[in-house]
Amino acid sequence: MKYCESVFETRRFKTREVMVGNIGVGGSNPVRIQSMTTSSTRDVDATVDQIIRLADVGCEIARVTVQGMKEAEACEHIKDRLLQKNYTIPVVADIHFFPPAAMKVVEFVDKVRVNPGNYVDKRASFKVIEYDDDSYAKELLRLEEKFTPLVDKCKLLKRAMRIGTNHGSLSDRIMSRYGDTPQGMVESALEFARVCRKNDYHDIIFSMKASNPQVMIQAYRLLVAAMLELGWDYPLHLGVTEAGDGEDGRVKSAMGIGALLLDGLGDTIRVSLTEDPWYEIEPCQRLRLFGEEYLGRGVEPFTEVHRKIDVIERRAVTLPTSVSMHRDGTVWLPMSATDLFSDNVYDDIGCKIELGQVSIKKTSADAVILRDSASGQAQRVLDKLQQGGVGVIIPLTLSEAAAQEKARRFAVTPVEQRHDSVLLVRDEPPSSWDIIARWQPAAILLGPTQNRLHASRRFFEWLQERALTIPVVLYYDYDCSQEDFVIRAGAECGAMLCDGLGDGVCLDGPYPRYFLRTFSFTVLQSARMRTVRTDFISCPSCGRTLFNLQDVTARIRARTAHLAGVKIAIMGCIVNGPGEMADAHFGYVGSKPGKIDLYVGKACVEKDIDFTDADDRLVELIKAHGRWVEPGAE
């Protein structure tokens, strides 16, 4: 199923150009950077100040929330005030549930964003509703009737539109046929796009957002595959919704957005963080630059058969008993003999040491990859690590393995071939890989330094053609700033792991060892592999938010971050809950000023809790469902 211009080289997917105010999106334009204000849209001064601050740090398109008519009317003054201050940055109105607001605000803004899951339909009930072909067709006619007036007005006023599907807010109609799936997300967008095309309106941009980077990647690919079959060429806005804050939010966004940019997909991007909106711009700029660097890069053409985009499955592997690996995703930490002399060596690896004894924790590296030989004190550290359960691996290059193989063939005394070894594959051509099949190592360290994405894909295709089930750990090393490392490693690892390719990570570079280890676990968890701590899904805040999301997220994180495997969603308003929470176990949602609703899955179990009591009630709810452990006991 074709979804991009090339799987062995990054080529930009050429779309039509859509003008958003004075900014061209798609076509030959660079990838555009977006963000969204967090102020109340009714507060014209505060919203204008935020948009100006965004524009000053490089934001090219700004979005504001428009819940009702007062917010719609405020947009006229916001736009006028910006022009008076000589700011021509396009303004986008974000619409949910209330078409009259869209019909009004389109007179003032440069683009409207509609969510196909709730623009015409009510909030999904998440109940099984049966639609036969006739009732389904009637629902589509109702959609067309209610949506066409906005299409006509956008066409008349030459306004752009984003058809922005979200994984967690699909309509009952879509879920009845497709479920809460990437395929359902695509069909939800196509329903609205068909109405646009029927009315000869083409200034549309698509988005397929989800809080799960793997779902997000799959949905965008399926959408592009559908557009290619239909002969469509509309631009794409990329984003991982509710990504959270700090490193977690940047990693999730880099994995989802970056994986698509490296395939040449995407025309505008937003990194949605639970932080002040201007902090979203720098990671966007880093992602855009990395995507641009990949353009035109690749490897010799090869045919890809085994990687699928409609069904993502992990490659079948046989885990070794002789090398330390984890079934849900391995973390190896590269170290030199010099690193082993560090006073913090055990902390860097993530071990506990008590009375001179080393023991592993949930976030300990599974093994140390030793870059050079060790002796004396360094060897004593290695011995202690191995006694504590941390493996020590000295990988062999392919040339070293070939030399040993040759020595074995010609030696008078046979040289033992080590099937417990780990082979390091760098930039050697495929013609040199045959030794892997003969050697049958315990595991492979895959570390191309050139055209990493395409070289890695080619290698996995080679393995699968030969039905080799040797596990592969991605050995990617970088020499850039730590901020760039987060984006680049997130994008390249995300592009592989979210496709089920790779059984762990071994990340290297001039960075603190403890940072490389904790970052590696963040990558695995974001790829829905190995979970070692709580997974937080928190929206980035907007003018609908009913409490300070940053403060609340920090408080809840401080109390619950030790709950491995538990997913907690923190949503500022009812628009982003329960549907937008997607697969969270527990939800904390602002329902009205000073009040919080609590959810288990998508079911509201406690309503209108006073804000001052809500944190404690969330903890009590987690305990009541048997998911609580005391800090330090996990």
Choose the CATH number for 330-525 among 3.30.1490, 3.40.50, 3.20.20, 1.10.3470: 3.20.20
Q: What's the mean pLDDT in 524-549? A: 82
Can you give the pLDDT at residue 239? Answer: 96
What's the token pair of residue 398?
A: 């392919």
Q: What's the mean pLDDT in 92-100? A: 93
Q: What is the pLDDT of residues 551-569, one digit of tens each?
A: 888 899 899 988 988 989 8
Q: What is the pLDDT of residues 28-40, one digit of tens each?
A: 999 999 999 999 9
What does pLDDT average to over the chain?
91
Query: Of the ranges 133-137, 227-231, 370-374, which one carries the lowest mean pLDDT score?
Result: 370-374
Can you give the pLDDT at residue 414? Answer: 47
Can you give the pLDDT at residue 81? Answer: 98
Query: Of the ranges 120-124, 329-333, 353-357, 605-609, which one carries the lowest mean pLDDT score?
Result: 120-124
CATH architecture of 535-624: 2-Layer Sandwich (3.30)
Q: What's the mean pLDDT in 285-312? A: 95
Residues in a beta bridge with 391: 367
Can you give the pLDDT at residue 415? Answer: 43
d(CA 48, CA 52): 6
Can you give the pLDDT at residue 20? Answer: 98
Can you give the pLDDT at residue 412? Answer: 53
Three-state SS string over 525-550 comes to: HHCCCCCCCCEEEECCCCCCCCCCHH
Can you give the pLDDT at residue 418? Answer: 55
Choose the CATH number for 18-294 among 3.20.20.20, 3.40.50.450, 3.30.230.70, 3.40.50.300: 3.20.20.20
**Residue 488 near residue 456, CB atoms below 8 Å:** no
Q: Residues in the chain, how many?
A: 634
Where do we find the tokens 């492979």? 444
Every domain of the chain with CATH number 3.30.413.10 lies at: 535-624
Query: Of the ranges 54-58, 419-423, 518-522, 542-546, which one carries the lowest mean pLDDT score?
Result: 542-546
Whether residue 606 is predicted with pLDDT greater than 80 in this model: the reply is: yes
Model confidence band, residue 316 (pLDDT cutoffs 50, 70, 90):
very high
Q: What's the mean pLDDT in 442-467? A: 97
Can you give the pLDDT at residue 342? Answer: 84
Q: What is the pLDDT of residues 379-391, one digit of tens each?
A: 888 888 888 888 8
d(CA 516, CA 524): 12
Rounded to 5°, angle at Cα 568 from 564 and 573: 170
Q: What's the mean pLDDT in 530-544? A: 80
Can you give the pLDDT at residue 616? Answer: 93
